[in-house]
Amino acid sequence: MKTDSSPFTAEEASFLVRQRVARLATADGNGTPHAIPVCFAYDGSSIYIALDEKPKDVPATRLKRVRNILENPGVALVADRYDEDWSLLAYVMVRGRAELVQPGSREHAAAIRLLRGKYHQYENMRIEDNPVIAIRPRRVVSWGALGASRDDGQLLDALRGRRSVRRYLPREVPNKLVEKVLEAGRWAPSPHGRQPWRFAMLRRGETKEKLAEAMGDRWREELEMDGQEPEVVEKRLEGSKRRLLGAPVLVLVCLYLEELDDYPDEGRQENEVTMAVQSLGAAAQNMLLEAYSLGLDGGWVCAPLFCPEVVVEALGLDEALIPHALLTLGYADGDPPKRRPRRPLEELVVYRDS
């Protein structure tokens, strides 16, 4: 066990901010203890805990933890990690004084932003109407493998396991799963947090048919312009159409540039658009990985990128949208063909400063 006279070491602070839940211990004026799990956020100097909405009609100031703090501001907060592999056990315990930060202050507004940034569930809660508990750390005690991480390989397994599917079973995808896939796209990183993309979800056969026909007409023109033989053109168009119509769900991923930052010079503006395109790819990858984690299969179709105006007209979309890709979702009809081989890592990492 280690103690440190400074509020936090870098390792302790890093461990604390990675945890999603901690235990807050308070005591009343007689020393009677009270401990509950809490969500929290740390800004580098203070720890903040929201007083969120309650199912029962109890004012925030009547909650036991709040009454205790008003009587006795000395508190402790413990954030811990348990694992069946006991070499990974660790905790950080913070002792300090707590106070209530009232709505209307700059600190309160900053704390609310911090808490909503860490917990998306707070986005739809009126936590800004209640005071926020602020803990001013005075002493920190820590123990265990603070810097360790669980090496279960789950994310890497998902990245390796996800595959591009072309044929799907005629099995309906529940709406709740589609919503989770779309939600994953919402959390992709983006330039300045602008989220410069929009999604269109297609389920109805007649809508998919209309889109496939419109894109097929444009592709036919391009294939004929390339000198493809008529029978080859028809075969490729038939396969492409079958791929779209056979997918239970299509998600059209569109670039949306209307809210990007404006620059007076062409170079920076072009870079802004490039960043937007990069973030669109991140949103699409988020959705494909979430689909895989939910037991769905998916694929990435680039056809809309070659005829964005055709897609917009076929679906009656806002002309400010620039279609870039279609994600197909469903349940694979058998194993897909063997994936293309990946280059060895040593060929891709061109520089190591170590």
Exposure b/e, 219-249, CB count within 10 A at least 16 = b: bbeebeeeeeeeeebeeebeebbebbebbbb
Residues 162 and 136 placed together within one structural domain of the fold: no
Residue 83 lies in a domain: yes
Residue 347 lies in a domain: no
Residues 220 and 272 placed together within one structural domain of the fold: yes
Output the tens digit of pLDDT for each of the chain's 354 residues.
444 445 898 889 888 988 999 999 999 999 999 999 999 999 989 999 999 866 556 677 789 999 999 999 999 999 999 988 899 999 999 999 999 999 999 999 999 999 998 888 898 899 999 999 999 999 999 999 998 876 667 788 888 888 888 889 898 999 999 999 999 999 999 999 999 999 999 999 999 999 999 988 888 888 888 888 888 888 888 888 898 999 999 999 999 999 999 999 999 999 999 999 999 999 999 999 999 999 999 999 999 999 999 999 999 999 999 999 999 999 988 767 667 788 999 999 999 987
Could you list the residue range(s) of the whole structural domain that residue 244 is in? 158-330
- Whether pTM > 0.75 for this model: the answer is yes
Residue 343 lies in a domain: no
CATH number at residue 81: 2.30.110.10
Residues 20 and 103 placed together within one structural domain of the fold: yes
Residues 130 and 191 placed together within one structural domain of the fold: no
CB 271 within 8 A of CB 277: no
CA distances from 77 to 21, 48, 121 (A): 10, 11, 22
Give the SS3 label for residue 215: helix
CATH number at residue 262: 3.40.109.10
Residue 152 lies in a domain: no
Q: Of how many residues is the chain composed?
A: 354
Residues 209 and 281 placed together within one structural domain of the fold: yes
Residues 74 and 19 placed together within one structural domain of the fold: yes
Residues 179 and 221 placed together within one structural domain of the fold: yes
The number of distinct structural domains making up the chain is 2
Residue 91 lies in a domain: yes
State how far the Cα of 219 lies from the Cα of 242, in Å rounded to an integer: 15
Residue 261 lies in a domain: yes
Residues 164 and 286 placed together within one structural domain of the fold: yes
